[in-house]
Amino acid sequence: MTNTTKFHSTDMSALSAYDDYLVPRLFEPWADKLLEQVKLKPGDIVLDIATGPGTVARAAASKVGPNGHVFAIDHSKPMLDIAKAKPAPACAARIEYLLSPAVPLPGSSGIFDAVLCEQGLQFFPDRQAALSEMRRVLKPDGRAGIAVWAGLERNRIFAAYHAALLATGSRELADLMATPFGWPDGAALKRAAEDAGFRRVQLLTLSLPILFEGGADQAIRAFSATPVWPGIAALCPEVQAAFFACVREEMAALQISGNIVAEMVSNVIIAEP
């Protein structure tokens, strides 16, 4: 997380759009999916890395209950401010939000029962160091749950945005859109975890649908949650109009009864220190 930007803008309107459009339709379902695999226990002490608006942290707090404790870190103070402003989940662990990089992680060695990282590792400038830090802070019987998107072509909503950017000549913006999907090889992710010293590393490739019930208009509004949006907003009106027309064309193949529906695919690592 240090010296990098996770896949969201620091503009407050974009952060609000991220929380409104992508969190409930994308990140909350995937948080639940990740926690299904990690199998948190009541009373666990958990570290959530790259917490963003606290999506995984809040789900984990409900899982471990009032006798547990969740520490949630991010390098973005605006995102942490959004997370802190949300009401605490009922009958849940206390969540402590900390402004921190992924390298080094806060805390002594061997203090967490679980370390979680949903869609953050691919953005870290030193992935191996980040994985080593995750292993360091885990208890000997702890477990890590790490999710990284599979290839862009397997995540068709974002592939549609990407194709529209290319079609309107926005190569630099298209490259930025592809950034979250830049580590598509699950086997390489597994090897990286093993190289960091993790054992019993299990690789899962999981999928969930993403649904925009408001159709193409809502999918376009969701695009404003990405860091690509300011680049589009800065273009002349004619190019913007061409881009949005291309998005609608790309989304047509994903339309079902007025909804936009597509699979999202992620590689998930479950490992022990």
pLDDT in tens, 69-126: 999 999 999 999 999 999 999 999 999 999 999 999 998 999 999 999 999 999 999 9
Among 121, 137, 147, 119, CA closest to 45: 137
What is the set of domains in the chain, with CATH numbers? Answer: 12-153+180-211+264-272 (3.40.50.150)
Is the bond leading into 66 cis (omega within 30 degrees of zero)? no
Tell me what the mean pLDDT of segment 197-218 comes to: 97
pLDDT band at 5 (very low <50, low <70, confident <90, very high): very low
Check: CB of residue 159 under 8 Å from CB of residue 221.
Answer: no
User: For residue 77, what are the β-bridge partners?
Assistant: none
Query: Does residue 12 register a pLDDT over 90?
Result: no
Model pLDDT for residues 73-87, shown as the tens digit of each residue? 999 999 999 999 999
> Cα 129 vs. chain centroid, distance in angstroms?
19
Q: How far apart are alpha carbons 28 and 56 in whole angstroms?
A: 7
Residue 66's SS3 state is coil
Cα(197)–Cα(25) distance, integer angstroms: 34
Question: What was the pLDDT predicted at 241?
Answer: 95
Q: Which residue has the tokens 């803008």?
A: 9
Tallying the residues shown for the chain, one arrives at 273
For the CA atoms of 186, 99, 177, 189, the dihedral, rounded to the nearest 10 degrees, stands at -10
Say whether pLDDT at 3 is over 80: no
Mean pLDDT, to the nearest integer, of 17-39? 96
Q: Which two tokens stand for residue 228?
A: 């690509």
Instruction: Look over the chain and give the mean of its residue pLDDT values, rounded to a whole number.
Output: 94
Is the pLDDT at 6 greater than 70? The verdict is no
pLDDT given for residue 15 in this prediction: 83
